[in-house]
């Protein structure tokens, strides 16, 4: 492995200065240890003569020989570093001035400021990780729940890459046999058994399709499961949102139609991030602004993974019946979860045994859940949280298979599946090996873009451009 693919040395803060007791500055490249030696003075031997894996105490002086800070320097040598290059991490005090001054001195000594994601890009180019793992670094940093962290860590450790590697290895074997047939095309020889090839394609396409189908769940885990709160005006939707969040996030008023636009907030329930969307009340109105809000309510309803239909127990059965019929007609129960909430149970007094009813969570054709709650008093909200968590148990996070969270990976898997489906169709129609091989090469190329075996520079620039500076 060539660990000198880059001829310059980069530096950047890996933490935000001024937000804690210390700030970490990262330096990487062929001249990293020499540059840090020029900036940090240590007793006895300098930094560039220090053994790998050691931490040294030193003092940073400016050009006027004034003390800037006392620091600790961690030394890493190629290839045993994050980037695969000689690297050093300087721990200084968390002063914005101190961090900026040390970075200035590092640049004056020969380093340059790193671009967003450049450390991780070097790690990828130097073979320390593949592209899917590199993208997982950003997901780990931005994870906001235990579920999203678990999925990201599985990808960072190579779980997803391992599955793709196995798929590509099986396809490469077949592709090589088909290519061999092309070399002996005049002799009409078949090296690839067509029946075995057909069976293999069935298995691989099924595997790829299963990975692609996990994207809906994985994307929700990564960005938050969208939950639309819908219902009539004054049914308690905003009160419910505030109660779940434990904060007065949405405006609550007795005046009908208070919510004119959607209000979104996130909350972690049982390790899963949910994105709650409070919507405008559903009703007939002549108010043009309110009509726009209601239109957006229906749009959010159609886009949500989970729909909370809030019914007012103090309203008539006819009103509630009309409303729930309207909501159910717009919910796709094959892909969306519906939870019907009978709100304001606290106002019924002794007319109904709400405690008993609340325990009887009824599943109607396993399609939707019915719960009696009081958003005002908090009654039934624990059961609601449990019901929300249960809607996301379709795919176990403890599964041996990877969960796709990245839209780029999802599109590549879909394209690979389509190319392999063409190969499978061609087999039955007796298509020549050259055309079979071409579609197989396409499938391998699509899979290769996920791990980085086949990835244009502009794609790499777009991917790593989303990273923070110090990563």
Q: Is the pLDDT of residue 283 over 90?
A: no
How much is the pLDDT for 318?
82
Mean pLDDT for the stretch of residues 68-75: 97
Neighbours of 303 (CB within 10 A): 11
Q: Is the pLDDT of residue 358 over 50?
A: no
% of the chain surpassing 70 pLDDT: 81
Please report which confidence band the pLDDT of residue 119 belongs to, taking 50, 70 and 90 as the band edges: very high
Which of 14-23, 116-125, 269-278 has maximum average pLDDT? 116-125
Please report which confidence band the pLDDT of residue 188 belongs to, taking 50, 70 and 90 as the band edges: low
pLDDT tens, residue by residue, 149-176 = 888 898 888 889 999 999 988 888 777 7
Please report which confidence band the pLDDT of residue 369 belongs to, taking 50, 70 and 90 as the band edges: confident
Mean pLDDT for the stretch of residues 391-399: 63
pTM, full prediction: 0.74
CATH class for the domain made up of 230-261+271-390: alpha beta
Cα-trace Rg, the chain = 29
pLDDT tens, residue by residue, 307-317 = 999 988 888 88
How much is the pLDDT for 38?
96
**Quick check: do 137-214+402-452 and 230-261+271-390 share a fold?**
no
Of residues 96 and 18, more confidently modeled: 96
Q: What is the mean pLDDT of the chain?
A: 82
Q: Tell whether omega for the bond before 364 is within 30 degrees of 0, i.e. cis.
A: no
Of residues 284 and 219, more confidently modeled: 219
How much is the pLDDT for 233?
81
Domain residue extents for the chain: 10-129, 137-214+402-452, 230-261+271-390
How much is the pLDDT for 396?
52
Of residues 147 and 413, more confidently modeled: 413
Flag the least confident range among 269-273, 335-339, 349-353: 349-353
How much is the pLDDT for 418?
95
Of residues 271 and 348, more confidently modeled: 271
Arch. (CATH architecture) of 137-214+402-452: Up-down Bundle (1.20)
What fold characterizes domain 10-129?
Gyrase A; domain 2 (3.30.1360)
Q: Is the pLDDT of residue 238 over 90?
A: no
Nearest to 164 by CA among 380, 453, 460, 440: 453
Burial 433-453 (b: 16+ CB within 10 A, else e): beebbebbebbbebbbbbbbe
Of residues 17 and 61, more confidently modeled: 61
How much is the pLDDT for 248?
63
How much is the pLDDT for 450?
92
């Amino acid at each position: 492995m060539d660990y000198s693919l880059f001829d310059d040395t980069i530096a950047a803060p890996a933490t935000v200065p001024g937000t804690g007791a210390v700030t970490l500055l990262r330096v990487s490249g062929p001249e990293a240890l020499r540059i840090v030696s020029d900036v940090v003075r240590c007793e006895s031997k300098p930094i560039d003569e220090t053994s790998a894996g050691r931490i040294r105490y030193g003092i940073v002086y400016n050009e006027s020989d004034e003390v800037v800070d006392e620091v600790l320097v961690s030394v890493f040598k190629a290839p045993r570093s994050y980037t695969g290059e000689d690297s050093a991490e300087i721990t200084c005090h968390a002063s914005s001035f101190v961090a900026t001054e040390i970075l200035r001195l590092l640049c004056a000594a020969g380093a340059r400021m790193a671009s967003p994601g450049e450390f991780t890009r070097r790690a990828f180019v130097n073979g320390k990780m593949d592209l899917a793992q590199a993208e997982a670094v950003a997901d780990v940093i931005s994870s906001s729940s235990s579920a999203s962290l678990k999925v990201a860590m599985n990808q960072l450790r190579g779980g997803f890459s391992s599955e793709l590697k196995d798929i590509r290895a099986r396809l490469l074997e077949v592709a090589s046999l088909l290519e061999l047939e092309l070399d002996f095309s005049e002799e009409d020889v078949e090296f690839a058994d067509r029946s075995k090839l057909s069976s293999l394609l069935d298995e691989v396409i099924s595997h790829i399709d299963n990975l692609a189908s996990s994207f809906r769940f994985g994307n929700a885990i990564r960005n938050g499961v969208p939950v639309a709160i819908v219902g009539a005006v004054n049914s308690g939707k905003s009160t419910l949102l505030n109660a779940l969040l434990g904060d007065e996030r949405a405006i609550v008023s007795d005046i009908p139609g208070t919510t004119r636009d959607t209000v979104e907030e996130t909350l972690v329930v049982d390790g899963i991030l949910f994105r709650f969307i409070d919507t405008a009340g559903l009703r007939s109105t002549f108010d043009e602004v309110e009509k726009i809000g209601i239109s957006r309510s229906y749009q959010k309803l159609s886009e949500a993974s989970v729909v909370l239909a809030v019914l007012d127990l103090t309203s008539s059965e006819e009103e509630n019946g009309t409303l729930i019929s309207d909501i159910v007609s717009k919910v796709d129960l094959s892909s969306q979860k519906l939870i019907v909430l009978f709100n304001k149970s606290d106002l019924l007094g002794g007319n109904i045994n709400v405690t008993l009813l609340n325990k009887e969570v009824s599943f109607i054709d396993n399609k939707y859940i019915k719960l009696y709650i009081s958003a005002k008093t908090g009654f039934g909200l624990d059961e609601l949280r449990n019901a929300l968590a249960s809607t996301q148990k379709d795919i176990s996070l403890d599964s041996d298979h990877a969960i796709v969270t990245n839209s780029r990976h999802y599109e590549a898997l879909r394209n690979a599946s389509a190319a392999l489906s063409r190969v499978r169709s061609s087999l039955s129609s007796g298509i020549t090996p050259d055309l079979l091989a071409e579609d197989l090469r396409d499938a391998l190329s699509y899979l290769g873009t996920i791990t980085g075996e086949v990835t244009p520079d502009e794609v790499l620039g777009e991917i790593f451009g989303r990273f923070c500076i110090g990563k």
